[in-house]
A and B are shown apart, each in its own frame.
Chain A
Amino acid sequence: MRVLIEKLTKQYLDRRGLATEALEDINLVVEENEFVVVVGPSGCGKSTLLNLIAGLISPTSGQVVFEGERSRTQPQTAMVFQDFALFPWRTVYKNIVFGLEERRASLSEQRETGQKYIQMVGLQGSEQKYPHQLSGGMKQRVSIARALAMDPLLLLMDEPFSALDAQTRTLMQYELSRIWEETRKSFLYITHNIEEAVFLGDRVVVLSRRPGRILDIVDIDLPRPRGEKLSLEKAYLEYVDRIWQTIKDQAKEALEEKGDDYR
């Protein structure tokens, strides 16, 4: 199963009816079992790209195609949101099986799949807690388990760790890397953090500022499993530097213009 993103363009109309281009001519293929990270400065349309792939908004032109075999119950995508988006009235377990309920899976299947992903993200013992009783890192684990339990063809992650503190974030990166190695699914991950992109990805797609265009695609040829020593290695640092050099000027522009241009 591959995901083809073909000539994807998205324009928004502002109050005066003027079109602003959020994404321009994005062409990208996410291969089976590939971990692709999209990185870009603020206002580059990263979230727009994810929403388009998830079918939550419609493109101005171009299309997203899922090509290949799949089982009948598999949805195309499931999304992990930056602010977790957990249902506050549902316990950890009930949040995780939400998607299974929606596709009318049997109770025993719900229990089995739910347990599997609770184990995978390390939430044993917290099944009956409500989201407000959890820390940010725990909440994001629930959100990841909830999306994985759907067994989507492509897992979409929209800056999932940017609401977390720096230390939790680092630990969650290790966790996610391990989870990806366990599941070997196709991941499309969005971030503004270059180190995170290099640490997690098989490939890093660098987007420009508005309108978002692909500036560079970098194959990250680093061994897995990736652990905490990786960030000390020369090859890793070179990747980070290469991407930073590509993005630097764009980020500066974003810094200077953000106030009046964005939102």
Chain B
Amino acid sequence: MTTDNQVTQDPTSSAPTEKIVVRHKAYFLKKKDYPGLSLISFCLLLLIWELASRRQWVPPLFLPAPTAVLAEGWAMVQSGVIFKHLLASLSRVLWGFLIACSLGLVIGLLIGSFRFFEAIGNPIIAAAFPIPKIAILPLLILWLGIGEAPKVAVIVLGVFFPMVINVYTGVKNVDPLLIKAALSLGSTRTRIIRKVIFPSILPMIFAGMKLGMGIALLLVVAAEMVGADAGIGFMIMNAADLMQTKKLMVGLVMLSLLGLFFNGLFQRLERIVIPWKK
């Protein structure tokens, strides 16, 4: 600072030959990679958990060791019990998910594309969306009995809303220039929905599917805790009642794996279906 001042205060002296090398000020914006850190930290967490359980820092009845959970899981695979529960939950999730996604897509396109349907649909959706779907489950059981129907129905309700809202928002945000371009190239209104709007909103559809699957897993577990004799939710509830903590944990791990599986599946599907995405 002081040297700077001296230079400016004394313009008569010849220019100083001081060299200032430009310093890279934005170095912290450069992204660094930490290869392998994710894996190491994850394994470390498991290791601490294993130790905590083995050394009895925490009673194993409350927190069984990862290896013990794994062994329990393997035993359930061998006996086949695990598949019974998995299939029961999966079929509920998939049915509910498929029905909800189809409905959400069609209705979202309709209310997004036509003012008529928008006027009808918007207030209904706005009023029904905030209700936690689990709160509707008792009503659904009252209407549909205690079989599969209310469980699938509650998933349909849960997945439908994120889907329909995503599709609707997508339609509303389609680049109007592309619609004008299609019009000037001779497209009719229905053709525009199919050839411009639908491909435009594909990323939003996938976002809705990912969101919806998370909700579907949440709801299937909740629904199976009331009046079911199979399913991951039933398994968890049942294990808790019998203090079978290991079995309970197996259920939690299954849910985590299911979530990861569907996320990976959707991501891969997205890359295939949307090849133009940068």
A-side residues, CB < 8 A to B, are: 54, 56, 75, 77-79, 81, 83, 85-90, 98-99, 102-103, 130-132, 146-147, 150, 156
A87 proximity list for chain B (CB < 8 A): 178, 181, 196, 199
Instruction: Pick the interface stretch among B26-34, B74-82, B270-278.
Output: B270-278
Q: Does B135 contact A (CB under 8 A)?
A: no
B278 proximity list for chain A (CB < 8 A): 132
Instruction: Pick the interface stretch among B139-147, B184-192, B218-226.
Output: B184-192
| Contact of A85 with B181 in the complex, beta carbons under 8 Å | yes
A78 to B185, CA, bound (A): 6
Instruction: Report the number of A-B residue pairs with Cβ-Cβ less than 8 Å.
Output: 53
A87 to B202, CA, bound (A): 13
| Contact of A85 with B178 in the complex, beta carbons under 8 Å | yes
Contact of A85 among B177, B191, B195, B200 (CB under 8 A): B177
B199 proximity list for chain A (CB < 8 A): 87, 89
Contacts A77-B184, A99-B185, A150-B185 known; A89 to B178 CB distance under 8 Å?
Answer: no
Q: For the complex formed, measure the closest distance between the CB of A233 and the CB atoms of chain B, giving whole angstroms.
A: 36
A86 to B276, CA, bound (A): 12
Main secondary structure of the interface of B (DSSP, over half): helix
| Contact of B177 with A81 in the complex, beta carbons under 8 Å | yes
Q: For the complex formed, measure the closest distance between the CB of B184 and the CB atoms of chain A, giving whole angstroms.
A: 4
- Considering the complex, which residues of chain B in the window 183-212 have a beta carbon less than 8 Å from any beta carbon of chain A? 183-187, 191, 195-196, 199-200, 202
Q: Does B84 contact A (CB under 8 A)?
A: no
A75 to B186, CA, bound (A): 8
The size of the chain B interface, using a CB distance under 8 A, is 20
| Contact of A132 with B276 in the complex, beta carbons under 8 Å | yes
Closest to A156 in B: B184
Contacts A89-B276, A132-B276, A132-B278 known; A150 to B177 CB distance under 8 Å?
Answer: no
B182 proximity list for chain A (CB < 8 A): 98, 102
- In order of increasing CB-CB distance, the 7 nearest A-B pairs are A85-B181, A99-B185, A79-B184, A102-B186, A89-B199, A130-B276, A85-B177
18 A-B contacts (beta carbon < 8 Å): A56-B183, A77-B184, A78-B184, A81-B181, A83-B177, A85-B177, A85-B178, A87-B196, A89-B274, A89-B276, A98-B182, A98-B185, A99-B185, A99-B186, A102-B191, A131-B276, A132-B278, A146-B185
A81 proximity list for chain B (CB < 8 A): 177, 180-181
Most buried by B among A56, A78, A102: A102
A147 to B186, CA, bound (A): 11
A150 to B182, CA, bound (A): 12
A255 to B123, CA, bound (A): 46
Q: For the complex formed, measure the closest distance between the CB of A104 and the CB atoms of chain B, giving whole angstroms.
A: 10
Q: For the complex formed, measure the closest distance between the CB of B74 and the CB atoms of chain A, giving whole angstroms.
A: 46
| Contact of A54 with B184 in the complex, beta carbons under 8 Å | yes
| Contact of B186 with A85 in the complex, beta carbons under 8 Å | no
| Contact of A56 with B185 in the complex, beta carbons under 8 Å | no
A54 to B274, CA, bound (A): 32
| Contact of B275 with A150 in the complex, beta carbons under 8 Å | no
Q: For the complex formed, measure the closest distance between the CB of A11 and the CB atoms of chain B, giving whole angstroms.
A: 21
Most buried by A among B180, B184, B202, B278: B184
